[in-house]
Chain A
Protein backbone atom coordinates (compact mmCIF):
# COMPACT_ATOMS: atom_id res chain seq x y z
CA UNK A 1 0.00 0.00 0.00
CA UNK A 2 1.34 3.38 -0.91
CA UNK A 3 1.81 5.69 2.04
CA UNK A 4 1.28 9.43 2.13
CA UNK A 5 5.04 9.90 2.29
CA UNK A 6 5.50 7.91 -0.90
CA UNK A 7 2.82 9.99 -2.60
CA UNK A 8 4.50 13.18 -1.42
CA UNK A 9 7.86 11.92 -2.62
CA UNK A 10 6.44 11.10 -6.03
CA UNK A 11 4.73 14.51 -6.26
CA UNK A 12 7.87 16.36 -5.18
CA UNK A 13 10.17 14.56 -7.57
CA UNK A 14 7.88 15.10 -10.51
CA UNK A 15 7.29 18.75 -9.71
CA UNK A 16 10.95 19.68 -9.37
CA UNK A 17 11.50 22.73 -11.53
CA UNK A 18 14.00 22.26 -14.33
CA UNK A 19 16.01 25.27 -15.51
CA UNK A 20 14.75 26.31 -18.93
CA UNK A 21 18.26 27.20 -20.04
CA UNK A 22 19.50 23.67 -19.38
CA UNK A 23 16.62 22.18 -21.30
CA UNK A 24 17.23 24.54 -24.17
CA UNK A 25 20.91 23.63 -24.33
CA UNK A 26 20.15 19.92 -24.29
CA UNK A 27 17.57 20.30 -27.02
CA UNK A 28 20.08 22.17 -29.14
CA UNK A 29 22.94 19.79 -28.45
CA UNK A 30 24.92 19.21 -31.60
CA UNK A 31 25.21 15.54 -32.35
CA UNK A 32 28.55 14.41 -33.74
CA UNK A 33 28.81 12.32 -36.85
CA UNK A 34 28.32 8.73 -35.84
CA UNK A 35 31.17 6.39 -36.57
CA UNK A 36 31.27 2.65 -36.70
CA UNK A 37 34.01 1.05 -34.75
CA UNK A 38 36.90 0.27 -37.01
CA UNK A 39 38.37 -3.16 -37.45
CA UNK A 40 41.37 -2.71 -35.24
CA UNK A 41 43.76 -5.14 -36.83
CA UNK A 42 43.24 -3.44 -40.18
CA UNK A 43 43.00 0.00 -38.73
CA UNK A 44 46.27 0.17 -36.90
CA UNK A 45 48.67 0.18 -39.84
CA UNK A 46 46.48 2.55 -41.77
CA UNK A 47 46.70 5.13 -39.02
CA UNK A 48 50.10 6.20 -40.24
CA UNK A 49 48.63 7.34 -43.51
CA UNK A 50 46.89 10.68 -43.61
CA UNK A 51 44.78 9.99 -46.61
CA UNK A 52 42.60 6.93 -46.48
CA UNK A 53 41.57 5.64 -49.83
CA UNK A 54 38.05 4.48 -50.05
CA UNK A 55 39.27 3.14 -53.34
CA UNK A 56 41.03 3.99 -56.50
CA UNK A 57 38.79 2.40 -59.04
CA UNK A 58 38.12 4.98 -61.68
CA UNK A 59 34.60 5.01 -62.83
CA UNK A 60 35.25 4.99 -66.49
CA UNK A 61 31.90 3.48 -67.12
CA UNK A 62 30.21 6.46 -65.54
CA UNK A 63 31.59 8.66 -68.28
CA UNK A 64 30.34 6.42 -71.04
CA UNK A 65 27.05 7.16 -72.74
CA UNK A 66 24.16 5.38 -71.14
CA UNK A 67 22.98 2.42 -73.09
CA UNK A 68 19.97 1.73 -70.90
CA UNK A 69 16.49 2.31 -72.11
CA UNK A 70 15.67 4.79 -69.32
CA UNK A 71 17.77 7.90 -68.83
CA UNK A 72 16.82 9.93 -65.76
CA UNK A 73 15.65 13.41 -66.61
CA UNK A 74 17.75 16.40 -65.69
CA UNK A 75 16.75 18.18 -62.52
CA UNK A 76 17.25 18.04 -58.73
CA UNK A 77 18.69 14.85 -57.26
CA UNK A 78 17.92 14.01 -53.65
CA UNK A 79 21.01 13.55 -51.51
CA UNK A 80 21.39 13.05 -47.78
CA UNK A 81 22.70 15.88 -45.66
CA UNK A 82 23.16 16.25 -41.95
CA UNK A 83 23.48 19.03 -39.44
CA UNK A 84 26.84 20.78 -39.33
CA UNK A 85 29.34 19.44 -36.84
CA UNK A 86 31.66 21.67 -34.87
CA UNK A 87 34.32 18.99 -34.86
CA UNK A 88 36.15 18.31 -38.09
CA UNK A 89 37.29 14.71 -38.10
CA UNK A 90 41.01 14.11 -38.26
CA UNK A 91 40.32 11.16 -40.56
CA UNK A 92 40.43 11.75 -44.29
CA UNK A 93 38.28 9.98 -46.80
CA UNK A 94 38.51 9.93 -50.54
CA UNK A 95 36.72 8.31 -53.39
CA UNK A 96 35.29 8.78 -56.83
CA UNK A 97 32.04 10.68 -57.00
CA UNK A 98 29.30 8.61 -58.59
CA UNK A 99 25.55 8.64 -58.91
CA UNK A 100 23.80 6.36 -56.46
CA UNK A 101 20.19 5.17 -56.67
CA UNK A 102 19.72 5.35 -52.91
CA UNK A 103 21.86 8.22 -51.72
CA UNK A 104 21.91 10.32 -54.86
CA UNK A 105 25.68 10.49 -54.73
CA UNK A 106 28.24 8.00 -53.53
CA UNK A 107 31.98 7.66 -53.19
CA UNK A 108 33.31 4.61 -54.96
CA UNK A 109 36.45 2.61 -54.58
CA UNK A 110 37.78 -0.94 -54.48
CA UNK A 111 34.68 -2.19 -56.17
CA UNK A 112 32.40 -0.82 -53.50
CA UNK A 113 30.11 2.15 -53.37
CA UNK A 114 29.60 4.14 -50.16
CA UNK A 115 26.47 6.25 -50.06
CA UNK A 116 27.59 9.76 -49.17
CA UNK A 117 26.07 12.02 -46.54
CA UNK A 118 26.98 15.64 -47.07
CA UNK A 119 27.12 18.72 -44.86
CA UNK A 120 23.93 20.71 -44.68
CA UNK A 121 23.74 23.20 -47.55
CA UNK A 122 25.01 20.87 -50.25
CA UNK A 123 22.66 19.63 -52.94
CA UNK A 124 22.83 17.80 -56.26
CA UNK A 125 21.21 17.92 -59.62
CA UNK A 126 21.40 16.04 -62.87
CA UNK A 127 22.80 17.97 -65.81
CA UNK A 128 22.98 16.35 -69.24
CA UNK A 129 22.41 12.99 -67.62
CA UNK A 130 25.22 13.35 -65.07
CA UNK A 131 24.86 14.18 -61.40
CA UNK A 132 26.76 17.19 -60.10
CA UNK A 133 27.39 18.23 -56.53
CA UNK A 134 26.31 21.76 -55.74
CA UNK A 135 27.89 23.71 -52.88
CA UNK A 136 26.11 25.93 -50.36
CA UNK A 137 26.70 28.95 -52.60
CA UNK A 138 24.81 27.30 -55.45
CA UNK A 139 27.89 26.70 -57.56
CA UNK A 140 28.69 23.28 -59.00
CA UNK A 141 31.66 21.97 -57.05
CA UNK A 142 32.09 18.42 -58.39
CA UNK A 143 30.99 16.15 -61.20
CA UNK A 144 30.58 12.41 -61.46
CA UNK A 145 34.01 10.88 -61.86
CA UNK A 146 35.78 13.58 -59.83
CA UNK A 147 37.88 12.53 -56.88
CA UNK A 148 36.65 13.83 -53.53
CA UNK A 149 39.04 14.14 -50.61
CA UNK A 150 37.59 15.41 -47.34
CA UNK A 151 37.55 15.10 -43.61
CA UNK A 152 34.95 12.53 -42.76
CA UNK A 153 34.06 9.26 -41.23
CA UNK A 154 32.18 6.08 -41.86
CA UNK A 155 28.49 6.45 -41.25
CA UNK A 156 25.86 3.82 -40.65
CA UNK A 157 24.92 1.13 -43.15
CA UNK A 158 27.94 1.43 -45.39
CA UNK A 159 27.78 5.18 -45.84
CA UNK A 160 30.47 7.79 -45.50
CA UNK A 161 29.85 11.13 -43.86
CA UNK A 162 31.64 13.93 -45.65
CA UNK A 163 32.22 16.59 -43.06
CA UNK A 164 34.45 19.45 -44.04
CA UNK A 165 37.61 20.54 -45.83
CA UNK A 166 36.24 19.12 -49.07
CA UNK A 167 38.72 19.07 -51.93
CA UNK A 168 37.74 18.14 -55.45
CA UNK A 169 40.09 17.05 -58.17
CA UNK A 170 39.88 15.33 -61.52
CA UNK A 171 39.58 11.57 -61.68
CA UNK A 172 43.34 11.15 -61.38
CA UNK A 173 43.53 13.02 -58.07
CA UNK A 174 45.00 11.56 -55.94
CA UNK A 175 46.61 8.91 -58.08
CA UNK A 176 47.48 5.47 -56.79
CA UNK A 177 51.12 6.49 -57.01
CA UNK A 178 50.71 9.40 -54.64
CA UNK A 179 48.29 7.74 -52.30
CA UNK A 180 48.84 4.03 -52.48
CA UNK A 181 46.29 1.54 -51.32
CA UNK A 182 46.94 0.85 -47.67
CA UNK A 183 46.46 -2.39 -45.84
CA UNK A 184 43.14 -1.01 -44.78
CA UNK A 185 41.26 -2.43 -47.69
CA UNK A 186 37.53 -1.98 -47.26
CA UNK A 187 35.93 -5.33 -46.70
CA UNK A 188 32.56 -6.64 -45.75
CA UNK A 189 33.18 -5.87 -42.10
CA UNK A 190 35.77 -3.13 -42.09
CA UNK A 191 34.79 0.45 -41.78
CA UNK A 192 36.53 2.92 -44.07
CA UNK A 193 37.58 5.37 -41.44
CA UNK A 194 40.39 6.29 -39.15
CA UNK A 195 39.50 7.13 -35.61
CA UNK A 196 41.00 10.45 -34.59
CA UNK A 197 43.68 10.03 -31.97
CA UNK A 198 44.29 12.01 -28.84
CA UNK A 199 41.28 14.26 -29.20
CA UNK A 200 41.69 16.59 -26.24
CA UNK A 201 39.60 19.71 -26.44
CA UNK A 202 39.25 21.97 -23.43
CA UNK A 203 41.09 22.03 -20.15
CA UNK A 204 38.89 19.54 -18.35
CA UNK A 205 38.57 15.90 -19.32
CA UNK A 206 35.31 14.13 -18.64
CA UNK A 207 34.54 10.45 -18.73
CA UNK A 208 36.14 8.79 -21.73
CA UNK A 209 35.18 6.11 -24.19
CA UNK A 210 37.40 3.75 -26.16
CA UNK A 211 36.66 4.30 -29.83
CA UNK A 212 38.96 1.82 -31.56
CA UNK A 213 37.90 -1.67 -30.63
CA UNK A 214 38.11 -5.06 -32.28
CA UNK A 215 35.30 -5.57 -34.75
CA UNK A 216 32.05 -6.46 -33.05
CA UNK A 217 33.10 -5.15 -29.65
CA UNK A 218 31.23 -2.45 -27.80
CA UNK A 219 30.64 -0.95 -24.39
CA UNK A 220 29.28 -3.70 -22.13
CA UNK A 221 29.12 -2.61 -18.51
CA UNK A 222 30.17 -0.15 -15.86
CA UNK A 223 32.81 -0.85 -13.25
CA UNK A 224 31.81 0.81 -10.00
CA UNK A 225 34.29 2.83 -7.98
CA UNK A 226 37.04 0.51 -6.75
CA UNK A 227 37.02 -0.09 -2.99
CA UNK A 228 40.72 0.68 -2.63
CA UNK A 229 40.55 3.54 -5.12
CA UNK A 230 37.25 5.35 -4.55
CA UNK A 231 38.00 7.95 -7.21
CA UNK A 232 38.60 5.29 -9.84
CA UNK A 233 35.81 3.67 -11.82
CA UNK A 234 35.60 2.21 -15.27
CA UNK A 235 33.89 0.52 -18.13
CA UNK A 236 34.20 -2.90 -19.72
CA UNK A 237 34.23 -3.42 -23.47
CA UNK A 238 33.89 -6.73 -25.21
CA UNK A 239 32.05 -8.68 -27.89
CA UNK A 240 28.31 -8.15 -27.99
CA UNK A 241 26.54 -10.12 -25.32
CA UNK A 242 29.59 -10.65 -23.16
CA UNK A 243 28.74 -11.45 -19.54
CA UNK A 244 30.49 -9.36 -16.93
CA UNK A 245 31.97 -9.85 -14.40
CA UNK A 246 34.71 -10.83 -14.90
CA UNK A 247 35.71 -7.37 -16.04
CA UNK A 248 39.11 -8.46 -17.29
CA UNK A 249 40.61 -11.33 -19.23
CA UNK A 250 40.34 -12.63 -22.78
CA UNK A 251 37.41 -11.00 -24.57
CA UNK A 252 37.50 -7.97 -22.29
CA UNK A 253 38.97 -4.50 -22.45
CA UNK A 254 38.66 -2.51 -19.23
CA UNK A 255 39.14 1.26 -19.07
CA UNK A 256 39.69 2.68 -15.58
CA UNK A 257 39.57 6.40 -15.02
CA UNK A 258 40.64 8.34 -11.95
CA UNK A 259 39.39 11.83 -11.17
CA UNK A 260 41.36 13.92 -10.27
CA UNK A 261 44.46 12.62 -12.00
CA UNK A 262 46.53 10.23 -9.94
CA UNK A 263 48.99 7.55 -10.92
CA UNK A 264 48.22 5.47 -7.86
CA UNK A 265 45.98 2.98 -9.59
CA UNK A 266 48.37 2.44 -12.49
CA UNK A 267 51.18 1.94 -9.98
CA UNK A 268 49.12 -0.68 -8.18
CA UNK A 269 48.54 -2.49 -11.47
CA UNK A 270 52.24 -2.33 -12.27
CA UNK A 271 53.04 -3.89 -8.90
CA UNK A 272 50.45 -6.57 -9.49
CA UNK A 273 51.86 -7.32 -12.94
CA UNK A 274 55.45 -7.29 -11.70
CA UNK A 275 54.59 -9.69 -8.89
CA UNK A 276 53.12 -12.03 -11.47
CA UNK A 277 56.25 -11.90 -13.60
CA UNK A 278 55.09 -9.11 -15.89
CA UNK A 279 57.58 -7.00 -17.77
CA UNK A 280 57.35 -3.46 -19.14
CA UNK A 281 57.39 -2.38 -22.76
CA UNK A 282 58.17 1.29 -23.32
CA UNK A 283 55.48 3.00 -25.38
CA UNK A 284 54.12 6.45 -26.04
CA UNK A 285 50.46 7.31 -25.57
CA UNK A 286 49.48 10.67 -26.98
CA UNK A 287 53.02 11.91 -26.61
CA UNK A 288 53.37 10.71 -23.05
CA UNK A 289 56.13 8.18 -22.40
CA UNK A 290 54.69 5.29 -20.45
CA UNK A 291 54.78 1.50 -20.31
CA UNK A 292 52.62 -1.41 -21.28
CA UNK A 293 53.03 -4.10 -18.66
CA UNK A 294 52.83 -7.54 -20.21
CA UNK A 295 52.24 -10.68 -18.21
CA UNK A 296 53.03 -13.60 -20.51
CA UNK A 297 51.51 -16.09 -18.10
CA UNK A 298 48.03 -14.59 -18.12
CA UNK A 299 48.30 -12.51 -21.28
CA UNK A 300 47.36 -9.41 -19.34
CA UNK A 301 48.33 -6.06 -20.90
CA UNK A 302 48.14 -2.89 -18.81
CA UNK A 303 48.90 0.63 -19.93
CA UNK A 304 48.37 3.92 -18.11
CA UNK A 305 48.51 7.57 -19.11
CA UNK A 306 47.26 10.96 -18.03
CA UNK A 307 44.76 13.14 -19.85
CA UNK A 308 44.52 16.61 -18.33
CA UNK A 309 42.72 16.15 -15.00
CA UNK A 310 42.24 12.40 -15.18
CA UNK A 311 44.42 9.32 -15.22
CA UNK A 312 43.48 6.37 -17.37
CA UNK A 313 44.45 2.73 -17.23
CA UNK A 314 43.53 0.32 -20.02
CA UNK A 315 43.66 -3.41 -19.41
CA UNK A 316 43.44 -5.86 -22.29
CA UNK A 317 44.69 -9.33 -23.06
CA UNK A 318 47.11 -10.80 -25.57
CA UNK A 319 44.30 -13.01 -26.78
CA UNK A 320 42.75 -9.92 -28.32
CA UNK A 321 45.43 -7.25 -28.57
CA UNK A 322 49.06 -6.80 -29.39
CA UNK A 323 50.95 -4.21 -27.38
CA UNK A 324 50.64 -1.76 -30.26
CA UNK A 325 46.93 -2.41 -30.65
CA UNK A 326 46.38 -1.67 -26.98
CA UNK A 327 48.25 1.60 -27.42
CA UNK A 328 46.17 2.31 -30.52
CA UNK A 329 43.00 1.85 -28.51
CA UNK A 330 44.40 3.99 -25.69
CA UNK A 331 45.00 6.83 -28.10
CA UNK A 332 41.39 6.79 -29.22
CA UNK A 333 39.99 7.18 -25.73
CA UNK A 334 38.24 10.45 -26.00
CA UNK A 335 36.11 12.60 -23.88
CA UNK A 336 32.84 13.07 -25.65
CA UNK A 337 32.03 16.43 -24.18
CA UNK A 338 35.52 17.91 -24.09
Chain B
Protein backbone atom coordinates (compact mmCIF):
# COMPACT_ATOMS: atom_id res chain seq x y z
CA UNK B 1 0.00 0.00 0.00
CA UNK B 2 1.46 3.30 -0.97
CA UNK B 3 1.02 5.72 1.89
CA UNK B 4 0.67 9.37 1.06
CA UNK B 5 2.58 11.60 3.42
CA UNK B 6 0.08 13.30 5.65
CA UNK B 7 -0.33 17.02 5.94
CA UNK B 8 1.87 18.25 8.71
CA UNK B 9 4.20 15.34 8.20
CA UNK B 10 6.96 15.25 10.75
CA UNK B 11 9.55 13.65 8.54
CA UNK B 12 12.49 15.89 9.37
CA UNK B 13 14.06 18.10 6.73
CA UNK B 14 16.46 16.05 4.69
CA UNK B 15 14.41 13.00 5.56
CA UNK B 16 14.97 11.34 2.22
CA UNK B 17 18.71 11.69 2.67
CA UNK B 18 18.46 10.21 6.16
CA UNK B 19 16.35 7.34 4.86
CA UNK B 20 18.96 6.53 2.25
CA UNK B 21 21.72 6.68 4.85
CA UNK B 22 19.72 4.47 7.21
CA UNK B 23 19.06 1.97 4.44
CA UNK B 24 22.80 1.91 3.97
CA UNK B 25 23.13 0.81 7.58
CA UNK B 26 23.69 4.11 9.38
CA UNK B 27 21.93 3.77 12.75
CA UNK B 28 22.51 7.42 13.59
CA UNK B 29 20.60 8.51 10.50
CA UNK B 30 17.79 6.19 11.54
CA UNK B 31 17.73 7.68 15.02
CA UNK B 32 17.46 11.17 13.56
CA UNK B 33 14.57 10.01 11.43
CA UNK B 34 12.55 8.53 14.27
CA UNK B 35 13.42 10.99 17.03
CA UNK B 36 10.64 13.46 16.14
CA UNK B 37 8.14 10.61 16.16
CA UNK B 38 8.89 8.89 19.44
CA UNK B 39 6.83 10.95 21.86
CA UNK B 40 3.77 10.97 19.61
CA UNK B 41 4.15 7.27 18.93
CA UNK B 42 4.23 6.59 22.66
CA UNK B 43 1.15 8.73 23.22
CA UNK B 44 -0.69 6.91 20.46
CA UNK B 45 0.20 3.43 21.65
CA UNK B 46 -0.62 4.37 25.23
CA UNK B 47 -4.13 5.51 24.46
CA UNK B 48 -4.73 2.61 22.08
CA UNK B 49 -3.48 -0.14 24.38
CA UNK B 50 -3.97 1.34 27.83
CA UNK B 51 -0.72 0.03 29.23
CA UNK B 52 2.51 1.94 29.60
CA UNK B 53 4.69 -1.14 29.35
CA UNK B 54 2.92 -2.53 26.31
CA UNK B 55 2.94 0.87 24.66
CA UNK B 56 6.70 1.11 24.97
CA UNK B 57 7.06 -2.48 23.74
CA UNK B 58 5.01 -1.75 20.66
CA UNK B 59 7.01 1.35 19.80
CA UNK B 60 10.20 -0.62 20.29
CA UNK B 61 8.88 -3.35 18.00
CA UNK B 62 7.96 -0.69 15.47
CA UNK B 63 11.43 0.82 15.59
CA UNK B 64 13.04 -2.55 14.99
CA UNK B 65 10.59 -3.42 12.25
CA UNK B 66 11.22 -0.09 10.56
CA UNK B 67 14.97 -0.54 10.84
CA UNK B 68 14.79 -4.02 9.38
CA UNK B 69 12.45 -3.25 6.51
CA UNK B 70 13.39 0.31 5.63
CA UNK B 71 14.75 -0.85 2.30
CA UNK B 72 11.17 -1.66 1.29
CA UNK B 73 10.03 1.96 1.67
CA UNK B 74 9.47 3.10 -1.89
CA UNK B 75 9.10 6.82 -1.20
CA UNK B 76 11.66 8.10 1.33
CA UNK B 77 9.63 11.28 1.83
CA UNK B 78 6.81 9.20 3.22
CA UNK B 79 8.87 7.82 6.07
CA UNK B 80 6.75 9.46 8.76
CA UNK B 81 3.54 8.04 7.32
CA UNK B 82 5.12 4.65 6.89
CA UNK B 83 6.37 4.60 10.47
CA UNK B 84 2.96 5.72 11.75
CA UNK B 85 1.43 2.77 9.96
CA UNK B 86 3.82 0.34 11.64
CA UNK B 87 3.18 1.88 15.06
CA UNK B 88 -0.59 2.02 14.80
CA UNK B 89 -0.99 -1.45 13.34
CA UNK B 90 1.33 -2.83 15.98
CA UNK B 91 -0.67 -1.13 18.73
CA UNK B 92 -3.96 -2.37 17.36
CA UNK B 93 -2.58 -5.86 17.09
CA UNK B 94 -1.31 -5.75 20.66
CA UNK B 95 -4.57 -4.28 21.94
CA UNK B 96 -6.51 -7.09 20.26
CA UNK B 97 -4.37 -9.86 21.63
CA UNK B 98 -4.09 -8.71 25.20
CA UNK B 99 -6.79 -9.00 27.78
CA UNK B 100 -9.44 -6.34 27.65
CA UNK B 101 -8.17 -4.70 30.78
CA UNK B 102 -7.14 -1.09 30.72
CA UNK B 103 -4.36 -0.97 33.26
CA UNK B 104 -3.67 2.67 32.79
CA UNK B 105 -5.96 5.33 34.14
CA UNK B 106 -5.67 7.86 31.37
CA UNK B 107 -7.53 10.39 33.48
CA UNK B 108 -4.34 10.67 35.53
CA UNK B 109 -2.57 11.72 32.36
CA UNK B 110 -4.31 14.99 31.85
CA UNK B 111 -1.35 17.27 31.50
CA UNK B 112 -0.88 20.65 33.04
CA UNK B 113 -3.61 23.23 33.40
CA UNK B 114 -6.14 24.77 35.72
CA UNK B 115 -8.15 22.59 38.08
CA UNK B 116 -11.32 23.00 35.99
CA UNK B 117 -9.37 22.17 32.87
CA UNK B 118 -7.81 19.16 34.55
CA UNK B 119 -11.21 17.88 35.65
CA UNK B 120 -12.54 18.32 32.12
CA UNK B 121 -9.60 16.48 30.67
CA UNK B 122 -9.94 13.69 33.19
CA UNK B 123 -13.57 13.28 32.13
CA UNK B 124 -12.48 13.33 28.51
CA UNK B 125 -9.82 10.70 29.22
CA UNK B 126 -12.30 8.39 30.93
CA UNK B 127 -14.71 8.85 28.07
CA UNK B 128 -12.01 8.10 25.55
CA UNK B 129 -10.89 4.99 27.42
CA UNK B 130 -14.47 3.73 27.32
CA UNK B 131 -14.55 3.81 23.52
CA UNK B 132 -14.01 0.73 21.40
CA UNK B 133 -10.61 0.03 19.85
CA UNK B 134 -11.79 0.98 16.32
CA UNK B 135 -13.10 4.28 17.69
CA UNK B 136 -9.92 4.99 19.60
CA UNK B 137 -7.84 4.10 16.55
CA UNK B 138 -9.54 6.45 14.17
CA UNK B 139 -9.64 9.30 16.70
CA UNK B 140 -5.97 8.84 17.53
CA UNK B 141 -5.01 9.02 13.89
CA UNK B 142 -7.22 11.99 13.11
CA UNK B 143 -6.71 14.08 16.24
CA UNK B 144 -3.29 13.14 17.61
CA UNK B 145 -1.50 12.74 14.31
CA UNK B 146 -3.81 14.84 12.17
CA UNK B 147 -3.58 12.36 9.33
CA UNK B 148 -5.82 12.68 6.31
CA UNK B 149 -8.81 10.41 5.88
CA UNK B 150 -6.94 8.81 2.97
CA UNK B 151 -3.97 7.91 5.13
CA UNK B 152 -6.17 6.76 8.00
CA UNK B 153 -8.03 4.52 5.59
CA UNK B 154 -4.78 3.01 4.35
CA UNK B 155 -3.47 2.42 7.86
CA UNK B 156 -6.70 0.92 9.17
CA UNK B 157 -7.37 -0.94 5.92
CA UNK B 158 -10.90 0.35 5.67
CA UNK B 159 -12.58 2.52 3.03
CA UNK B 160 -12.12 6.28 3.29
CA UNK B 161 -15.87 6.71 3.68
CA UNK B 162 -15.77 4.41 6.69
CA UNK B 163 -13.06 6.56 8.23
CA UNK B 164 -15.29 9.60 7.90
CA UNK B 165 -18.38 7.93 9.27
CA UNK B 166 -16.49 6.20 12.05
CA UNK B 167 -14.81 9.44 13.07
CA UNK B 168 -18.17 11.20 13.24
CA UNK B 169 -19.78 8.37 15.19
CA UNK B 170 -16.78 8.05 17.52
CA UNK B 171 -16.90 11.76 18.32
CA UNK B 172 -20.58 11.45 19.14
CA UNK B 173 -19.91 8.46 21.36
CA UNK B 174 -17.09 10.35 23.03
CA UNK B 175 -19.40 13.29 23.58
CA UNK B 176 -21.97 11.05 25.21
CA UNK B 177 -19.36 9.39 27.39
CA UNK B 178 -17.84 12.75 28.30
CA UNK B 179 -21.19 14.19 29.28
CA UNK B 180 -21.97 11.09 31.31
CA UNK B 181 -18.67 11.56 33.14
CA UNK B 182 -19.46 15.20 33.78
CA UNK B 183 -22.84 14.32 35.27
CA UNK B 184 -21.26 11.89 37.72
Contact = CB atoms under 8 A, between A and B. Distances in A.
B25 A155 contact: yes
Nearest to B30: A31
B152 interface: no
Contacts of B46: 16, 18
B97 A18 contact: no
Contact of B111 (A3, A12, A29): A12
B64 A29 contact: yes
A156 B19 CA distance: 13
B124 interface: yes
A48 B64 CA distance: 28
Nearest to A310: B97
B93 A9 contact: no
Nearest to B39: A18
B43 A13 contact: yes
Contacts of B35: 27
A206 B25 contact: no
A218 B69 contact: yes
B98 to A, nearest CB: 8
Interface string A14-25: 111111001101
A209 B68 CA distance: 11
Nearest to A16: B43
Query: Chain B binding site: helix, strand, loop or mixed by DSSP?
Result: helix
Contacts of B110: 12, 15
B93 A156 contact: no
Contacts of B153: none
A188 interface: no
B60 A224 contact: no
A110 B106 CA distance: 60
Q: Which of A15, A18, A117, A219 has the most CB of B within 10 A?
A: A18
B143 A22 contact: no
B97 A231 contact: yes
B3 interface: no
Interface in B97-111: 97-98, 106, 109-111
Q: Which of A9, A15, A117, A206 has the most CB of B within 10 A?
A: A9
A225 interface: yes
Given A13-B47, A17-B109, A159-B25, A233 B93 contact: yes
Nearest to A13: B144
A15 B46 CA distance: 13
B171 A156 contact: no
Contacts of A25: 56, 60
Given A18-B39, A34-B67, A224-B96, A206 B175 contact: no
Given A5-B178, A8-B120, A8-B121, A34 B25 contact: yes
A22 B111 contact: no
A26 B60 contact: yes
A23 B38 contact: yes
A275 B69 CA distance: 38
A95 B55 CA distance: 43
Interface string B43-55: 1001100001001
A325 interface: no
B56 A26 contact: yes
Given A13-B43, A17-B109, A240-B72, A29 B63 contact: yes
Contacts of A337: 57, 60-61, 64
Given A12-B121, A16-B111, A23 B171 contact: no
Given A23-B38, A156-B23, 9 more contacts: A5-B174, A12-B110, A13-B43, A16-B47, A31-B30, A34-B67, A259-B97, A336-B65, A337-B61
5 contacts: A13-B140, A16-B47, A18-B43, A26-B42, A218-B69
